[in-house]
Structure 1
Amino acid sequence: MAFKKAVRQRAKARIGICGPAGSGKTMSALKLAFGIVGPGGRIALLDTENESASLYAHLGDYDVDVIKPPFTVEKYIGGIREAERLGYDLLIIDSLSHAWAGTGGILEFVDAKAEGKGNKFAGWREATPKHNSLVDAMLQSPMHIIATMRSKTEYILVEDEKGKKVPKKVGMAPVQREGMDYEFSLVFDVDQERHIATSSKDRTEIFDGFFGKLSEEHGRSIREWLDSGEPVQQPAPKPEQGQPAGLQFISPDQVLELEAKISEVGADRKKFLGFMGVKRLEEIPTERMAAAVKALEAKTKKEGTSSNVTDITTALAARRIPFQLNEEAGEVHAKPSYQDSSSKEFLKAKGFKWNPSDKAWVFKQAA
């Protein structure tokens, strides 16, 4: 261990925008994004808000991918990885709150694990690594990241211009795990009534005392600050002892495949990485991909095919298999594409049966 002079290096934006419904979080995020990437920059947006992000297409060019329920962590990570693979400069996650409190989010995951057990300890033991993996995916991404978060709302009484007491809706803490704001370099709180933003966290010192509407110009100021640091020195990778030079690692698509399988079989991510002798999935050598898949499939066979509806829908979402959930009947209807033979084999292994009348693979929860 050795101390060295602190040097601020060039970095990617990590921005949080919080506010109640209707405060203008999406528009604010887009305006900052256009300023950050500049002309010709590519912006992607993960939309969990009922496909509302396209309403702002008049502001400029950006691409949208819609995340529909259940809002699993795996879907978010998959969206981040896909945006990275396609070479986008900036990703807007709108909204990050659904991964926490939405249908299929972390809180529902914990409740499902605790059902019938009387406590949520076991659920949190699995949920915390899931949440951390999403945070890591955002922090380690080579893209700029802007995440919107809904604020818990509260009504307070204020005096209007006539001195009359009237209720006013105000945003409180963001709907996400406590401390999530620590992960961002900038956090803005947007007022619902006038769409005015204030900065509750600012490592740039640009927005100290700021009170106003966010704009492209603010995005350009952020980009100038990010680029004003020292260039990041990328040391040439050295092969580890016993590893040949020029070692190839698994592709982003293979990383997604392993992410899905880990979720599908309920594997302990940390133990799996330890078994593979790496710290991150991206560090798995190409030649060991088959061994990684085999290890996860072995866990599936060992634990059998018994599953509940929550586990099933989580696995389907991770593998991006279209499905419909009938909660009253305790049924899941999956409809993979006609040529997707691997998904069909997965469905069979999970206990799905083909229903010709519905033209779907059907899983029925055991009574």
Structure 2
Amino acid sequence: MKLQTAQRSQVKLRLGLSGASGFGKTYSALLLAHGITNDWTKIAIIDTENNSASLYSELGNYNVISFSEPYNPERYIKAIKTCEDAQIEVIIVDSITHEWQGTGGCLHIHEQLGGRFQDWAKVSPRHQAFIDAILQSKAHVITTVRSKIDYSMDSSSNGKTKVVKHGLKSITREGFEYELTVNFELINENHMAKASKDRTGLFMNKPEFIINSSTGRKLMQWCNQGLSVDQARKEIEVCTTLEGLRHLYQKYIGLKELIHPIIINRKADLEAITSQVVSNKEIINPLKTKEHGANS
């Protein structure tokens, strides 16, 4: 156990998108994910929305895990683990509503146990394991959740009751939003969004906007703030593969303007080394051939 300086680069984003059906949660999540990783092949969607994830396949070669009921927490956890084992960088869980309210989800499990208050003692740990799988994932995670209009019956001063509309409420267990880095509410069919929770300070109390790839890039820049160029330069200088350079460029995407020339110089060095190795082989092989001919 030791103390060390905290770095935002060690933080994985936990993002939420909430909204009614048709407001663009899946599409917005895909654009957000691409802004984070800049590589469609490093994105995976856990799709419980009747294969809606595949509707946007023209965007890029992202990955999909589709499953139907039962929507128990353990199946979600297994899907998240499958994505992690495949080295996925951004996992989209679309949506988490089914884990709570769908067939085989937590409310359904509670009802099958008898629906008593004490039955939550068996259900809550299973739901918490699902939440922990999201919070402890090695990847960035984006969750989508359906919303519905929330009503209440209020009494007026004259004793009459009336229905009061309180806006949209996410269909999942209360409190999940507090676990997120940022939660975006999609407020209409034009895909307009606003932040209802924001630990970054980038979006809170700002005008409504449309989520796109630049939103994801802003979040990655926030993650990478405070990273020193010297640290990035040291890792680039000892890198020995072009694939490694691409990984470092994504790791330090928030410093891309500063590290780009360093990346280019190291790339040229690696290509020169590769070219020299190939040239040496071409020289050595003919010599071996001649030597073999002389000895035969």
* Residue number in structure 2 paired with 1:187: 183
* Residue number in structure 1 paired with 2:218: 221
1: CA distance, partners of 2:209 / 2:40: 27
* Residue number in structure 2 paired with 1:198: 194
Query: For this pair of structures, how many residues does the alignment match?
Result: 213
Correspondent of 1:176 among 172, 175, 178: 172
Structure with greater Cα Rg:
2
For 1:152, give the aligned amino acid.
Answer: K
Q: CA offsets per residue over residues 289-331 of structure 1, 9 Å max, x none? A: xxxxxxxxxxxxxxxxxxxxxxxxxxxxxxxxxxxxxxxxxxx
For 2:99, give the aligned amino acid.
Answer: A
* Residue number in structure 2 paired with 1:72: 72
User: Secondary structure at 1:221's aligned position in 2?
Assistant: helix
Partners of 1:94 and 1:148 within 8 A in 2: yes
Which structure 2 residues correspond to residues 248-327 of structure 1 after superposition, within 5 A? none
Given the two structures, how large is their TM-score scaled by the length of structure 2? 0.67
Q: Percent identity between the aligned chains?
A: 39
Partners of 1:113 and 1:120 within 8 A in 2: no
User: Secondary structure at 1:78's aligned position in 2?
Assistant: helix
2: CA distance, partners of 1:207 / 1:41: 28
* Residue number in structure 2 paired with 1:13: 13
For 2:212, give the aligned amino acid.
Answer: S
1: CA distance, partners of 2:122 / 2:139: 28
- Most deviating of 20-29 and 207-216: 207-216
1: CA distance, partners of 2:225 / 2:208: 24
Which structure 2 residues correspond to residues 14-163 of structure 1 after superposition, within 5 A? 14-39=14-39, 42-114=42-114, 119-121=116-118, 123-153=119-149
For 1:141, give the aligned amino acid.
Answer: S
Partners of 1:19 and 1:190 within 8 A in 2: yes
User: Secondary structure at 1:148's aligned position in 2?
Assistant: strand
2: CA distance, partners of 1:201 / 1:120: 30
Partners of 2:150 and 2:169 within 8 A in 1: no
For 2:173, give the aligned amino acid.
Answer: R
Q: CA offsets per residue over residues 53-92 of structure 1, 9 Å max, x none? A: 1001112221111121010101100000000011111100
- Which ranges of structure 2 fall in alignment gaps of 5 or more residues? 152-164, 229-296
Q: Highest relative contact order (Cα 8 Å, sep 6+), 1 or 2? A: 2
Q: CA offsets per residue over residues 220-255 of structure 1, 9 Å max, x none? A: 111111122559xxxxxxxxxxxxxxxxxxxxxxxx
For 2:73, give the aligned amino acid.
Answer: V
- Which ranges of structure 1 fall in alignment gaps of 5 or more residues? 156-168, 232-367
1:39 deviation in Å?
3.6
1:114 deviation in Å?
1.2
1:40 deviation in Å?
6.2
Partners of 1:19 and 1:171 within 8 A in 2: no
Partners of 1:43 and 1:88 within 8 A in 2: yes
For 1:9, give the aligned amino acid.
Answer: R
Partners of 1:110 and 1:127 within 8 A in 2: yes
User: Secondary structure at 1:12's aligned position in 2?
Assistant: coil
1:201 deviation in Å?
0.7
Given the two structures, how large is their TM-score scaled by the length of structure 1? 0.55
For 1:199, give the aligned amino acid.
Answer: A
2: CA distance, partners of 1:227 / 1:41: 22
User: Secondary structure at 2:8's aligned position in 1?
Assistant: coil
2: CA distance, partners of 1:229 / 1:113: 50
- Structure 1 residues 39 and 82: CA distance shift in structure 2, 3 A: closer
- Structure 1 residues 29 and 6: CA distance shift in structure 2, 3 A: same
- Structure 1 residues 229 and 107: CA distance shift in structure 2, 3 A: farther
1: CA distance, partners of 2:189 / 2:133: 33
Partners of 1:20 and 1:171 within 8 A in 2: no
1:8 deviation in Å?
4.6
